[in-house]
Structure 1
Amino acid sequence: MIVAPRQTILANGLRVIAVEMPHLHSAEVALYIRAGGRNDLPEKAGLAHFLEHMLFRGTAEHPTNLELEAAFEAIGGAVNAATDAESTCYYSRIHPDHLPEAVRLLSVMLLSPTFAGIDIEKRIITEEALEDINERGEEINPDNLASRLLWPDHPLGMPTIGFLETIAGFTESDLRDYLGRHYVPGNAVLVAAGRLAAGELFAAAATAFATWQGPLPLPGSPAPAGQTAPQALFVKDADSQINLQIAFRGFARDDRRNPAARLLRRLLSGGGCSRLHLSLRERLGIVYSVDAQLASYDETGCFSVDLATAPENLIVAVREVLREVRLLTQEPVDAEELERVKQGYFFDLAYSRDSTFDMQVRYGWGELMGMVKSIEEDRAEAAAVTPALIREVAGQLFAPAGLNLVAVGPLTARLKKEVTGMLDSYAADCR
């Protein structure tokens, strides 16, 4: 069965999307805001994430977070939220019979927060932030460190959670100002997927969000793109392993090369038959797991490989990752291997038809970012990728000018020197 969303736009500009899946017994409702970490000012780093947490601490109708949680549980829900670089999402699975109440509860969260318990939430977020800091106060999260290399002196290069000093300085005025500037209907999408009727959703949204008003916020500054050579960042930390991330500058969200990049990720780290898994784990036995991720933003992106290994294995691990990515730029992928990877992707697309969460993300987040694509469109784009295109895109994606390496752990001067030399050799070999 092909899932086709239905959409309306309320008078205030709020887009509402219904994904009707009548064969299911549940529904998922989500509200997306097109604002995240990159919308924070440097002196207010982490504010988007902090506001997301604060909306759970009570409303005019539910003075405590316990009462708010109980209200969602009463309709079969468990409300949650997430903040990333460019968006914030509030979502919950619910019983389909209670869709209007779920929409109303989301509106109550956004339109009437009390911002009670700011100091308590600061302590909670501080504990979360401390997980990424060592005993000397140094950042040890490879994702955050790689972002700093990729986008220096820009909000994309700051941790979404913020810094200890910025978290400590947040005020109710900061929260209300951010809420007023970014949480406006034209900057949001309400979506529901599951056993529901589109008309019921549209009517519930029109009632619940009728008073929501506000102008669109100004766009943020573009990310820097001035890197011309490989970069490395080493942080010494007391651990038994070294956490390694090798990150390449990727493509913007609407870039035509992304379908090939998605398949490149699966070729390198898409299961037990992927190249890095076979090389690093099955052949060499130097990692428990290795993962590759692809992130795309408005004007930039990142392709990263993450692993942890013992210090004595670091050089081999770096060499193998660089060897595998360089091989993809030099030799066409075997047609049979590419077809196997495509089939795995096609299966995942098919499975997503059964997921209310996947459907609300596809059509809700997709609408928010101007990137709505059906499963059929995604499948067709992947099917059209050839071995020659994989090689071409790999050559652009894995160019040495966009290479960034982060290593955190019990590092020595010798290891740093050898790793830096390997980056130089990679750049020389790719000329």
Structure 2
Amino acid sequence: MNPAATAVPAAIHCGGPGLGRSACAMVFVTAGSWSDPPGRSGLAHLWEHAFFAGSGRHRTARDFAAAASALGHTFNGHTAAEYTYFYLSGPADTLDRAMDLLLTCYTAPRWDDGEMAIQRRAIDNELRVFGDDRQRRVRQLATEALHGTGPFALSPLGRTAEIASLTGSDVAAFAREHAGPGRLAVLVDSPAHDSRLDDVIARHFAPARSRPTTGPAPAGYGPLTHLALELAGRTAVVALAVPGVSYRLTTREMYAMRLFHSILGGIPGSRVGTRLRDELGLAYQARTVLEPHAATGALITLFTCAPERVTEAVCAVTRILDEALDAPVSAAELARAVAMNRGIHARDRETPTARCLVRGREILRRGALPPEEEQFALWGDIGADEVLTTARRVLLPWQTRCAVVGPPGTHQPLTEAPELPGAWKLVG
């Protein structure tokens, strides 16, 4: 089957023959937390939790879990800013029945009040875990620094007080208004094409031929602001977010930026890690991540250090970035970055679930599904000059945002640092 020509939500097949005996069916929806209505933060997240909490003849989450496990399948879901996905994964010979279970959750949910209460409590406990995780807190602060104080700055997990008031009727309205079939792709990865899967989909959906439409997303960045959260402890966790990376870039430009990120701080022996850990002794670990969205995003440097050395570490990172945008990329650095990204590329496609998720994101970002061989070959087709030229054109270092989670007063010296123009805000 040609994925690019497949009707949506007819199954998009992500695998190929001879890939083993396991399989995955995934519902990928182009609606996430950025689709939450005002004052109802966490609604998409509650929908994700409630998705498996009773549907069709399976009245409760326990009933559904028993039915899925009887087929040998595990299941899960995830809420991101721009999308939500749900999947079952297990033996290929029961995939048709597993897919029927999965799609019944979408087409015939129960939204039982008792089950909703259970899921709200589960999310409350999840938020407690998030609150104690400094790395996740600083990543979320970096998102807020990039996007301002509006809905695009909120965590996909939601806010406890707003989630507490959400009901099954709210979840039903979200599913109807923001996550309808026009936002849906059904993805399948199995050792061989199984026509029974298309029959299952036909029982649940009328045919539709358009690609999934996308939900709301920020068109630009918020005011230049740095954020600090004061928490007692012996360390400070810092994020420096350099705007510019988004899916407005072409696939080739995104590959070039992934190579630049790898050289800067994304792989062992990278510039940031070597300088901060080995040469300056400022941090145990330091790394970079790419966090692109539809029209916004950033290259983010993350590190943990002693609170009294935060300013020294931040200044060191800004110098490393300046040098990286000024000095050529060496042949050895590029070769290692290409090799590592080829390895990551292969690892991210090792399992049926992983291949479905990669394809779902490609549908969201690009619409088309390029051949896998073409995608893999692109890593070796980008030279050092192209990596540097792309990074210089894309990144906006003068718009860098800083987020700090640490003991009281940790961020105070940074308010005077010339490397970080802009206002500082202390968050609760």
TM-score bucket (shorter structure): 0.7 to 0.9
Following TM superposition, by how much is the alpha carbon of 1:318 offset from its aligned partner in structure 2, in angstroms?
1.2
CA displacement, residues 42-68 of structure 1 (integer Å, 9 cap, x when unaligned): 311111111100112212311121121
Q: Is the 8 A contact 1:248 1:402 kept in 2?
A: yes
Change (3 A) 1:354 1:159: closer
Following TM superposition, by how much is the alpha carbon of 1:111 offset from its aligned partner in structure 2, in angstroms?
1.6
Alignment-derived partner of residue 290 in structure 2: 294
1:232 partner letter:
H
The correspondence of residues 325-336 of structure 1 with structure 2, limited to 5 A, is: 325-336=321-332
Alignment-derived partner of residue 339 in structure 1: 335
User: Of 379, 393, 403, which residue of structure 2 is paired with 1:406?
Assistant: 403
Alignment-derived partner of residue 364 in structure 1: 360
2:124 partner letter:
T
User: Per the alignment, in what secondary structure is the counterpart of residue 298 of structure 2?
Assistant: strand
Change (3 A) 1:200 1:140: closer
- Alignment of 1:14 with 2:9, yes or no, is yes
The correspondence of residues 50-65 of structure 1 with structure 2, limited to 5 A, is: 50-65=46-61
- Between the aligned partners of 1:20 and 1:380, the Cα distance in structure 2 is 18
Alignment-derived partner of residue 382 in structure 1: 379
- Between the aligned partners of 1:196 and 1:244, the Cα distance in structure 2 is 47
- Alignment of 1:238 with 2:229, yes or no, is no
Alignment-derived partner of residue 245 in structure 2: 251
Following TM superposition, by how much is the alpha carbon of 1:210 offset from its aligned partner in structure 2, in angstroms?
5.0
Q: CA RMSD in A?
A: 3.0
Unpaired stretches in structure 2, ≥5 consecutive residues: 423-428
- Between the aligned partners of 1:363 and 1:20, the Cα distance in structure 2 is 13
Alignment-derived partner of residue 121 in structure 2: 123
- Between the aligned partners of 2:322 and 2:167, the Cα distance in structure 1 is 49
- Between the aligned partners of 2:2 and 2:16, the Cα distance in structure 1 is 7
Alignment-derived partner of residue 91 in structure 2: 95
1:205 partner letter:
I
- Between the aligned partners of 1:342 and 1:419, the Cα distance in structure 2 is 38
So what's the TM-score if we normalise by structure 1? 0.87
Q: Is the 8 A contact 1:362 1:372 kept in 2?
A: no
So what's the TM-score if we normalise by structure 2? 0.87
- Between the aligned partners of 1:327 and 1:347, the Cα distance in structure 2 is 27
CA displacement, residues 303-339 of structure 1 (integer Å, 9 cap, x when unaligned): 2122222213322321222122111111111122112
- Between the aligned partners of 2:31 and 2:164, the Cα distance in structure 1 is 21
Between the aligned residues of both structures, percent identity stands at 25
CA displacement, residues 269-316 of structure 1 (integer Å, 9 cap, x when unaligned): 333222222222233343332232212222222221222222133223
Following TM superposition, by how much is the alpha carbon of 1:416 offset from its aligned partner in structure 2, in angstroms?
2.0
- Alignment of 1:32 with 2:31, yes or no, is no
- Between the aligned partners of 1:384 and 1:23, the Cα distance in structure 2 is 27
Following TM superposition, by how much is the alpha carbon of 1:87 offset from its aligned partner in structure 2, in angstroms?
0.5
Alignment-derived partner of residue 183 in structure 1: 179
Alignment-derived partner of residue 394 in structure 1: 391
User: Per the alignment, in what secondary structure is the counterpart of residue 419 of structure 2?
Assistant: helix
Unpaired stretches in structure 1, ≥5 consecutive residues: 427-431
User: Per the alignment, in what secondary structure is the counterpart of residue 52 of structure 2?
Assistant: coil
- Alignment of 1:203 with 2:199, yes or no, is yes
- Alignment of 1:146 with 2:142, yes or no, is yes
Q: Is the 8 A contact 2:22 2:91 kept in 1?
A: yes
Following TM superposition, by how much is the alpha carbon of 1:371 offset from its aligned partner in structure 2, in angstroms?
5.1
- Between the aligned partners of 1:412 and 1:191, the Cα distance in structure 2 is 49
- Between the aligned partners of 1:107 and 1:125, the Cα distance in structure 2 is 23
Change (3 A) 1:102 1:59: same
CA displacement, residues 176-232 of structure 1 (integer Å, 9 cap, x when unaligned): 1111112322211111113131533322322344599xx9878536433354x5x32
